[in-house]
């Protein structure tokens, strides 16, 4: 964690890793008598806002819950629209992401995504791999329980192959078999829209994360909301179970 006095936030501690559950796109649209799809479009604007805010505050890791494994059960029209948005965003933003020094990383079962999006994902990873200002991790077709099951299966295979005994497994080893291996655990998790649950997002990784729930709907999320959440984070006392 970096300790940086910040005039903007009034807080002295900037979290190294912020994770966000971007919630409320549908409600934002319904409130305006618009189709839910418009909420997702405006949500993509809020992603740009969050990235700008992170870069300005010096946050090093941002992880966004963009599409959950459960979201596949939404109406086909909405899924297709979201895929279109990801496609558009990945193509359009690649240069801006590079210029801003952002490395893009993905977690989730991306093999379920349309093939052209999988290709764009590979291109984004390769073209941004040397950037080091901010690591943006997009959780796409992601479910934390499935991720943990995957790690258990990988460990089980190693035991079967005689490379490992059950007693060798500890927390570090499990963490190294998760898709988030190499990322620090989130310091701060923000969920917008007033809902207060994790919804199968980073269950293992958030063991000691500070949660901030904002009443703002995701499409309305602005840099000031990030600053407010970081300010709240700075006021918390993190004891990790100790005194």
Give me the active site residues, please.
23, 71
Per-residue contact flags (x/-) with ligand FPP for residues 134 to 153, judged by CB under 6 A: ----x---------------
Q: What count of other Cβ atoms lies within 10 Å of the Cβ of residue 17? A: 22
Near ligand FPP by CB under 6 A: residue from 14, 37, 47, 50:
47
- Of 18, 22, 104, 120, which lies in the binding site for ligand FPP, with binding defined by CB under 6 A? 22
The mark string for 180-209 relative to ligand FPP (x by CB under 6 A, - otherwise) is -------------x----------------
Answer yes or no whether residue 43 interacts with ligand FPP by CB under 6 A: yes
Residues of this chain, 59-118, that bind ligand FPP according to CB under 6 A: 64, 66, 71, 85-86, 89
Query: Rule CB under 6 A: is residue 213 a binding residue for ligand FPP?
Result: no
H-helix or E-strand spanning residue 236: none
Q: Compute the Cα dihedral for 222, 224, 225, 229 and give only its sign.
A: positive
Task: For residue 60, give the 3-state DSSP assignment.
Answer: coil
Count of residues in contact with ligand FPP, rule CB under 6 A = 19
What number of helices (H) and strands (E) belong to the chain? 7, 8
| 54 belongs to the binding site for ligand FPP (CB under 6 A) | no
Those residues whose C-beta lies under 8 Å from the C-beta of residue 184, and which sit 6 or more positions away, are 16, 17, 61
Instruction: Return the number of the residue (13 or 66) whose C-beta is nearest ligand FPP.
Output: 66
Instruction: Please select the residue that binds ligand FPP; options are 6, 9, 17, 23, rule is CB under 6 A.
Output: 23
Q: Contact between 131 and ligand FPP (CB under 6 A)?
A: no
Q: Which residues pair with 20 in a beta bridge?
A: 64, 190
Q: Which tokens hold the place of 213?
A: 């729930």
Q: Where are the beta strands (DSSP E) in 69-115?
A: 102-107
Can you give the three-state secondary structure of 170-209, one letter per residue? CHHHHHHCCCCCCCCCCCEEEECCCCCCCCCCCCCCCCCC
Q: Given the rule CB under 6 A, which residues bind ligand FPP?
A: 22-27, 40, 43-44, 47, 64, 66, 71, 85-86, 89, 138, 193, 218
């Amino acid at each position: 964690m970096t300790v940086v006095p910040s005039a903007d936030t009034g807080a002295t501690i900037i979290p190294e890793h912020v994770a966000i559950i971007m919630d409320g796109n549908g409600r934002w649209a319904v409130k305006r008598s618009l189709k839910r799809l418009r909420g997702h479009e405006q949500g993509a604007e809020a992603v740009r806002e969050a990235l700008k805010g992170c870069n300005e505050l010096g946050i090093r890791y941002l992880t966004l819950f963009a599409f959950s494994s459960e979201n596949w059960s939404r109406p086909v029209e909405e899924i297709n629209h979201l895929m279109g948005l990801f496609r558009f965003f990945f193509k359009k933003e690649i240069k801006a992401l590079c210029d801003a020094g952002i490395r893009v990383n993905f977690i989730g079962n991306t093999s379920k995504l349309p093939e052209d999006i999988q290709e764009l994902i590979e291109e984004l990873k390769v073209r941004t791999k040397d950037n080091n200002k901010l690591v943006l991790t997009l959780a796409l077709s992601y479910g934390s329980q499935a991720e943990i099951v995957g790690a258990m299966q990988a460990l089980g295979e190693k035991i079967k192959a005689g490379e490992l005994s059950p007693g060798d497994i500890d927390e570090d080893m499990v963490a190294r078999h998760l898709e988030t291996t190499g990322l620090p655990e989130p310091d701060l998790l923000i969920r917008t829209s007033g809902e207060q649950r994790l919804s199968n997002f980073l269950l293992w990784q958030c063991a000691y994360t500070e949660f901030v729930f904002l009443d703002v709907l995701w499409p309305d999320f602005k840099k000031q909301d990030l600053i407010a959440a970081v300010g709240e984070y700075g006021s918390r006392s993190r004891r990790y179970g100790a005194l």
